[in-house]
Structure 1
Amino acid sequence: MFRIFFRSSICLAAVAASSAASADEASTAHAVAADGDSIVVTATRAPLTLDEIPSSVAVLDKAAIDRAQDIGVTELLLRTPGISISRNGGYGTSTSLRIRGAESEHSVVVIDGVKLNDPSSTGGGFNFTNLLAGDISRIEVLRGPQSILWGSQAIGGVVNVVTASPEKALEGSFDLEAGSRQTVSARAAVGGRTGPLHWRIGGQRFTTDGISSHAKAFGGTERDGYRNSNVSGRAELALADNVSAEVRGTYSSGRVEFDGFNTDSNDYGQNKEFVGYAGLNVDLVGGRFRNRIAYAYTDTNRDNFNPDRARPRSFEADGKNKRWEYQGSFDVSDRITAIFGVENERSDFRSRSPSASLATPLPAFVRGKAEITSVYGQLSVEPISGLTLNGGVRYDDHDRYGGQTLFAAGGVWRLPTGTVLRASYGEGFKAPGLYQLFSEYGNIGLDPEEAHGWEAGIEQHLFDRKLVVGATWFDRTTTNQIIYNGCSAPSTDPMCFVPGSNPPNPRFGYYLNVARSEAHGVEAVAAMTLGGLRLDGNYSWIVAEDRSPGANFGNWLPRRPRNIANASASYGFDFGLELGAALRWSGKSYDNASNAQRLDDYTLVDLRAEFALSDTVKLFARAENIFDEHYMTAFRYGSLGRSIYAGIRGRF
């Protein structure tokens, strides 16, 4: 009962993307999209139907998000193919999402057209911790290299988040739920269309007592709570028939308790994030030539505290991004479209880790900055009916690492037999993060990471799309991948001492390049509908290995399970009741590069129910991890056990 429109490089299938995902919505998606025109993807930087995209894509619309009942975006994405996560405890703790075994910072996250990344974080990537479902109306996931349109660091893929836009003169919505561990979530939004003005504002408050982030199996007992408040808003004003201006913004503030140094402690962190966007849209040549000029700004502030220290603040960091961009899209003809643009991004960060002793002066902030200017272009051509080919090029000029040119190409062929064939190739280039270069663990001698990958697949629609099956093969190679190297004492490695310190001051570790890593695998999906019964599932086999010469050659990259499977079933009754169940199985993985510490496989089973009181108001309830499975996605960190939630939602 989950409308996940999922198009893999070879397959359009619905997948269970929530705690109680099911396939009824998926099957509806197949029926609605029989002409290939009903499902439009915007993560391609210009609206395209699924049948025009060579890459693997998953799309979750508002109906899917509502039926999922999940609070966080991470949980929504986790049931889709090719995605795994590692989390340092319960809600609010550090969360890394990996697409096809790539590093978490190798995927670009976009919200309302703004790239989200924190220059003060380890790899300059995005932490999904505080991204709640909130007023999100749509999520799109493009798997595989997407660097031509979204920047060189989009090696693993792109997660595109779109907040709700008003469709009526006046509309509103709300969600209220409560459950295990004193968890409460309340959300509301209102918006409308008034003449040339379209506007919407929304807010959410989430609190929970949580679990011990230090795993119970290792002595963790006290609960680490989490709270998050967020607001979002958007407005668009039509200045003329072909000119519009728009502003968007989101702000979130979170506080999470966590455990440090492998034991229960009173540590807690505060995180504040702001995302702003202002743009001007101009359509020319009868709408065939579309132009957008925009400015985007992000600011992420993180602070950690321990009230048991003489100096409570133990860490502080701030990262900012300022981005100007122009994008053009021109329909040369009905069969030829060009997308092109210019971007300039300036990022800076500062961080420090104060000593616990008041007798030790506060250290100066470690600071760093970078600038990158890019130009790109992509051409899409339909030489014959049913066949779409595209190719693109991007040039990045980094103020520290110079220029880099990237290429991409792909094609999709739609056959009258209901068969769809896809293939694509893409490249990526990622400069080291500012933290990796300039922090107390930094290494200014780091080289950029480079990657290239390809995929090919097939999907088949049967019985008027009542059954859809497909599979995708992908392959990716990354060179100069950056990892963290810990230092032991005593050490003769000169990099295990703070550069420039006299006398030499030892440090815990530093970042360095490894020669090579490789990932390949298969994603398979299927969805079927039989009246009110809906079934779907997916399986991902992901081999992500260290291929660098040395002791770790051939080892699994840390925290990446090689096997992941999801399945769901649901049944909708005529009187408004819907019941669903979902299963997720994750195979074993390893917590470290040496593969000395194993993380066992686990199976989670969830149940979901929803009852319509009217066309606009519904009651819902879900039970997650009903067998109370104990598992870890990161060694020594706990995970949520059996949980039960219930609530009410309205859409007006």
Structure 2
Amino acid sequence: MKRSILSAAIVMAASPTLAEEAPDSGAVTLEPVQVTATRLSQTVDEALASVTVIDREEIERLQPRQFTDLVEGRAGVSVSSAGPFGKQSSVRLRGTESDHHLMLIDGVRMGSATSGGASWRFLPPEEVDRVEIVRGPRTSIYGSDAIGGVTQIFSREGEEGPPRVNAFFGLGSFGTREAGAGIAGGTERTRYSLSLSRYDTDGINVQDDVGDDDPDGYDNTSLAGKLSHRLTNGLEFFGNVLYSEGRSEYDADESDPANPVDILGPYDRAYTDFVHAALRAGVRIPVTRHWDTEVTLGQSRDESDDVTEGGVLGGGVDRFDTRRDQAAWRNDVRVGERTDLIAGVDAYEDRVDGSTDYDEDSRYNVGVYSVLRTEIGNHDLEGSLRYDDNEEFGDKTTGQVAWGLQATDALRLRASYGTAFKAPTFNDLYFPGFGNPDLDPEESETFELGARYSASLAYVDVSVFETNVDDLIQSRCVVNCDDGNPDTDINEPRNVREARIRGLELEGGHDLGPWNSRVSLTLLDTEDRDTGNELARRPPVSARFDLDRQFGDASLGGTIRARSRSYDRGDNETRLSGYGTLDLRAAYELDPEWTVEGSLTNVFDRDYETQGGYNNPGMGAFVKLRYQQQR
């Protein structure tokens, strides 16, 4: 099978080649192109990693209410949340922690410097053009946080052609209202897009025994834009922004400052005002026919004001504002006909501001990396190496090697080994009265074997892996530990735990005539090596099945998600029951530009929890009118 890697087009914000259905003549379906696994532009078939791509067509077909609806139940992915609609969510890859999962937005590194995790809950699905999920360690390419893998979100971008307007308006259960509009287009040298969306819902009562009984609402206003311009000599300037702000309400009780066990009563209101943003600008320079270089500057912001009002003492505000300034220099070199090299330097500085006085409020990290890939006959070899210098914990070197074999035109085998690390957060290191500045990074090693079978209209991908994580950071009691009252314990984070995670992932799908399907299955065996317990909120079995059928101008579809029981805490005392849910959807093209969509979520009105004590919505109904101007 002939394969090619177009190094001149390798960019973090590159557009995917969308899967195109083969015509009746039997031509082979083109695989989606992804750039996240190695920073090389490759089809999913070519990647020596486990990769899932969700394109805009699939996003619109699935009609998600929130971003986590897109990824929940996918191979290797588990989601737990403190309720729906803008509430705290953890998205775990391959059984690792949520803060072991790196989020990128158009190449911008996201995440809170204080808590460490990414704000998945604030991502607006309507502004997302494509999602690439890469499972397995990627620290040797991207640095800290990528122990479990990387998910990159690409916002919408323009295509060559006259300006085209798009818009939508929707209503639904739980007092949900949403609307948005955008414009996109381009010329041979210039591409642009700009869109604005608003999501507003009254929500549900997230906790029954905490706070009041009123619904906990959520609103999100988002702006997304991309612009690029290429000069006649090939020099290209580009920029992108994704900005969201809004409010998410939650339940909270007021404690007596003198005795935290004594609850004075519920607050009148409790909510989080947030800002979540990714900005990037840069230039790509074709130095020679075989060498392209790219320089970028970026910034991510994760800001929140946690506000409580009323109560006996009148409430207050806890402000946590984190900013990450980023710079990168990257070089793509075609070494030979079948060998490609990427080498670069990236640096970022985290800054923390807010109502909490941290012992340190900034730190920098500089990383140098390289990725080499070559083809030898029907074998592929790939290696990556990275050196990080961090202001707090010093230096760290990570690496990864992978091998692939094109056994037949349809069957591809792969194997890999990689190391990774996760830097301690500002909360771990510097939180007043709690932080431990002597913490070491968490470290891991992962072994993986995989196979992918791709026919013209169907594919199956299976992988088995084992990840061992050392120096896991866990809070341990250091004062008042033996008085029998955990509420008076004083805890300190320490490097105390080791974990082993084994798993099997299966993903497949087909596009046959009017039928479209995707299926995912994940089997996990997790163990805290210190206690022998399962790791919290990791269901041993999870699955997802999406099935859609086109009937001329109409379509019908459904999604089944299921997961086995899990434990809410690491002591395995509190059990979360397994469950399954069914969502149904339909769409009808009124004409080539107007489409009406409708969906029923949680059709059987299942009562379930993914995090102990937090409710999820019952059955809901939603309708949306969508407009897409045609050329």
TM over 0.5: yes
Residue number in structure 1 paired with 2:565: 588
2:461 aligned with 1:470, yes or no?
A: yes
2:404 aligned with 1:412, yes or no?
A: yes
Residue number in structure 2 paired with 1:291: 293
What letter corresponds to residue 213 of structure 1 in structure 2?
Answer: V
Q: Secondary structure at the match of 2:140?
A: helix
Asked if the contact 1:130–1:228 (Cα under 8 Å) also holds between the matched residues in 2, the reply is: yes
Residue number in structure 1 paired with 2:450: 457
Q: Secondary structure at the match of 1:170?
A: strand
2:422 aligned with 1:430, yes or no?
A: yes
Residues 465-515 of structure 1: per-residue CA shift (max 9 Å, x gap): 34433321011011001123467856589xx99xxxxxxxx7753322223
Larger deviation: 434-443 or 637-646?
434-443
What letter corresponds to residue 101 of structure 1 in structure 2?
Answer: G
Residue number in structure 2 paired with 1:213: 206
Q: Find the aligned partners of 2:22 and 2:501 in 1 and give their Cα distance.
A: 31
2:93 aligned with 1:116, yes or no?
A: no
Q: Given the superposition, is the C-alpha separation of residues 30 and 74 from structure 1 closer, same or farther in structure 2, using an over 3 Å criterion?
A: farther
Q: Find the aligned partners of 1:389 and 1:422 in 2 and give their Cα distance.
A: 10
Q: Find the aligned partners of 1:73 and 1:33 in 2 and give their Cα distance.
A: 35
2:547 aligned with 1:554, yes or no?
A: no
2:359 aligned with 1:370, yes or no?
A: no
Q: 1:98 aligns with which of 67, 83, 92?
A: 92
What letter corresponds to residue 398 of structure 2 in structure 1?
Answer: L
Instruction: Spell out the pairing of 1:2-81 with structure 2 (5 A cutoff).
Output: 28=21, 38-43=31-36, 44-81=38-75
Q: Find the aligned partners of 1:467 and 1:40 in 2 and give their Cα distance.
A: 16
2:611 aligned with 1:634, yes or no?
A: yes
Q: Given the superposition, is the C-alpha separation of residues 233 and 285 from structure 1 closer, same or farther in structure 2, using an over 3 Å criterion?
A: same
Residues 280-313 of structure 1: per-residue CA shift (max 9 Å, x gap): 1101222x21111111112222111111154532
Residue number in structure 1 paired with 2:344: 341
Residue number in structure 2 paired with 1:313: 316
Q: Find the aligned partners of 1:184 and 1:346 in 2 and give their Cα distance.
A: 38
1:36 Cα deviation after fit? 8.0
Q: Given the superposition, is the C-alpha separation of residues 380 and 580 from structure 1 closer, same or farther in structure 2, using an over 3 Å criterion?
A: same
What letter corresponds to residue 172 of structure 2 in structure 1?
Answer: G
Asked if the contact 2:545–2:560 (Cα under 8 Å) also holds between the matched residues in 1, the reply is: yes
Instruction: Spell out the pairing of 1:426-575 with structure 2 (5 A cutoff).
Output: 426-440=418-432, 441-461=434-454, 464-485=455-476, 489=480, 508-548=490-530, 553-574=531-552
What letter corresponds to residue 352 of structure 1 in structure 2?
Answer: S
Q: Given the superposition, is the C-alpha separation of residues 562 and 219 from structure 1 closer, same or farther in structure 2, using an over 3 Å criterion?
A: farther
What letter corresponds to residue 297 of structure 2 in structure 1?
Answer: Y
What letter corresponds to residue 66 of structure 1 in structure 2?
Answer: E
Q: Secondary structure at the match of 2:61?
A: helix
Q: Given the superposition, is the C-alpha separation of residues 526 and 41 from structure 1 closer, same or farther in structure 2, using an over 3 Å criterion?
A: closer
Q: 1:241 aligns with which of 233, 253, 261?
A: 233
Asked if the contact 1:26–1:527 (Cα under 8 Å) also holds between the matched residues in 2, the reply is: no
Q: 1:176 aligns with which of 166, 169, 180?
A: 169
Q: Find the aligned partners of 1:157 and 1:323 in 2 and give their Cα distance.
A: 20
Q: Find the aligned partners of 1:77 and 1:388 in 2 and give their Cα distance.
A: 29
Q: Given the superposition, is the C-alpha separation of residues 410 and 33 from structure 1 closer, same or farther in structure 2, using an over 3 Å criterion?
A: farther
What letter corresponds to residue 140 of structure 2 in structure 1?
Answer: I
1:416 Cα deviation after fit? 2.7
Q: Secondary structure at the match of 2:174?
A: helix
Q: Given the superposition, is the C-alpha separation of residues 114 and 528 from structure 1 closer, same or farther in structure 2, using an over 3 Å criterion?
A: closer
1:367 Cα deviation after fit? 4.1
1:212 Cα deviation after fit? 1.1
Residues 557-590 of structure 1: per-residue CA shift (max 9 Å, x gap): 111111101123322113x111112211111111
What letter corresponds to residue 577 of structure 2 in structure 1?
Answer: D
1:526 Cα deviation after fit? 3.2
Residue number in structure 2 paired with 1:11: none
Q: Find the aligned partners of 2:229 and 2:457 in 1 and give their Cα distance.
A: 42
2:252 aligned with 1:260, yes or no?
A: yes
Asked if the contact 2:444–2:468 (Cα under 8 Å) also holds between the matched residues in 1, the reply is: yes
Q: Find the aligned partners of 2:406 and 2:191 in 1 and give their Cα distance.
A: 37
Q: Find the aligned partners of 2:108 and 2:239 in 1 and give their Cα distance.
A: 11
Residue number in structure 1 paired with 2:594: 617
2:331 aligned with 1:328, yes or no?
A: yes
User: Which structure has the higher relative contact order (CA within 8 Å, separation 6+)?
Assistant: 1
Structure 1 gaps, min length 5: 1-24, 354-363, 498-505
1:329 Cα deviation after fit? 0.6
Q: Given the superposition, is the C-alpha separation of residues 458 and 31 from structure 1 closer, same or farther in structure 2, using an over 3 Å criterion?
A: farther
TM value normalised by structure 2:
0.89
Residue number in structure 2 paired with 1:279: 282
Asked if the contact 2:479–2:489 (Cα under 8 Å) also holds between the matched residues in 1, the reply is: no
Q: Secondary structure at the match of 1:435?
A: helix
Q: Secondary structure at the match of 2:605?
A: coil
Q: Find the aligned partners of 1:521 and 1:248 in 2 and give their Cα distance.
A: 37
Identity level (%): 27
Q: 1:394 aligns with which of 386, 395, 420?
A: 386
1:350 Cα deviation after fit? 3.2
Instruction: Spell out the pairing of 1:116-195 with structure 2 (5 A cutoff).
Output: 116-120=110-114, 122=115, 124-167=116-159, 168-194=161-187
Asked if the contact 2:595–2:625 (Cα under 8 Å) also holds between the matched residues in 1, the reply is: yes
TM value normalised by structure 1:
0.86
1:449 Cα deviation after fit? 0.5
Q: 2:305 aligns with which of 303, 306, 310?
A: 303
